[in-house]
Chain A
Amino acid sequence: MPTRRHALSASAKLALLLLGAGILPAAAQAQAAGFNQAAFDAKSLAEVMKALGAGAPAASGDVTVSAPDIAENGAVVPVGASSSLPGVKRLLVLVEKNPSALSAIFDVSEMVDANFSTRVKMGQSSDVYAVAMMNDGRVLYAKKEVKVTLGGCGG
């Protein structure tokens, strides 16, 4: 009869096998230190903010999200997140209707402008958010609807 210790070590071996085969859940695969897997697994803006330990976001004219009205292909959609306010700690980019809402987190040091541009994949037409997490705990956002003519998540 298998002992508990035996069963545990067997499951550890299985885990190693599965890890090698790339079948373990995403949480086990994240390897970069300090990577906030929970935030990147979250399905909604509210869940993302919770995973980041932040309060509910408020719309603000001091945060800007720049994105095209229409993306010819959802595989590559240029998005900019910026804020002219002092005291921005982090800027986030979210695509609301993506399988996971959070696309990127930028930490704003005093050496850089709170202004980042990147490109994201969009699975379908969706609101795109720029969220500014402030040093004083406030969370501010701006959003824009981006229409996607061809989804970019593959499959």
Chain B
Amino acid sequence: MTRILWAGAAAAIAASSPAVWAQQKSSAEGIAEYRAMLADGNPAELFEAKGEALWKTRRGPKNATLEACDLGKGPGVVKGAFVELPRYFADTGRVQDLESRLLTCGETLQGISAAETAATPFGRGEQANIEALVAYISAASGGMKFNLPQGNPEERKMFELGKRAFFYRAGSHGFACASCHGEAGKRIRLQDLPDLTKNPGNGIGFAAWPAYRVSSGELWGMQRRLNDCYRQQRFPYPGFGSDVTIALAVYMGVNAKGAESIAPSIKR
């Protein structure tokens, strides 16, 4: 009789414990498991393949490929370029990020209007091609460490501008980038908010973009990521490839020195 009671009690405990244990496996662990399950087979690879084809395809009024495009390490050098951007370019006399550099190459090599592309909504027309190119080019630096140059005075100036822009509070809510990303340990609902005033670690923050966002099934470059940040801050978007967006990328990229890039990554 006692044995049956014990068995019953044990069964009752066993039946209830999965629920108890499920509560004890934290949401953070659950989400980490979810992300790990998605890591193999990142749809960003579809964009990478498209971007590689675009790099090598003759396009535009000049019917040329992008293979002579200088991304900072010499014409046509793709590997390693992403982790050194943004940087100063002598031919344009300014500091450029990857996306504005693709506008430059698109125009000078292929005759595709940079202004028109910049004015095109994200995900459409030529912007869709930029997304794919950004996926391809960032993938070619996968696992490499960020090492933005700061040897040129323009590069250092952009770092300072980026820092000011990062802490600049404005808009209806008085938000700055720093409101969400100015210190460690912050979170919005289930999304960890990396501290972008320092190196938040390999594959985190600046080192995780561009990324495939599963919520919309879209590939977002850093420009689109910043556009959405500005929307959330209730600021107007400063414009595709604008100085402020490039400066912010310099600030975040220099802070992330030594962090390994996992771009293009997969995000919610």
Contact = CB atoms under 8 A, between A and B. Distances in A.
Interface of A: 68-73, 75-76, 78, 119, 147, 149-150, 152
A76 B214 contact: yes
Interface in B211-259: 214-217
Given A73-B215, A149-B190, A78 B27 contact: no
A117 to B, nearest CB: 9
Contacts, number: 40
Contacts of B77: none
Contacts of B38: 76, 78, 119
Q: Which interface residue of A76, A78, A150 has the most chain B CB atoms within 10 A?
A: A76
Given A76-B38, A78-B37, A149-B190, A69 B217 contact: no
Interface residues of B, number: 17
A70 B215 contact: no
Given A75-B217, A149-B190, A150-B215, A69 B37 contact: no
26 contacts: A68-B30, A68-B33, A68-B37, A69-B22, A69-B30, A69-B33, A70-B27, A70-B30, A70-B31, A70-B34, A71-B34, A72-B34, A72-B190, A73-B214, A73-B215, A73-B268, A75-B214, A75-B215, A75-B216, A76-B38, A76-B214, A78-B34, A78-B37, A147-B30, A149-B189, A150-B215
B35 interface: yes
Contacts of B173: none
Contacts of B217: 75-76
A72 B33 contact: no
A150 B27 CA distance: 14
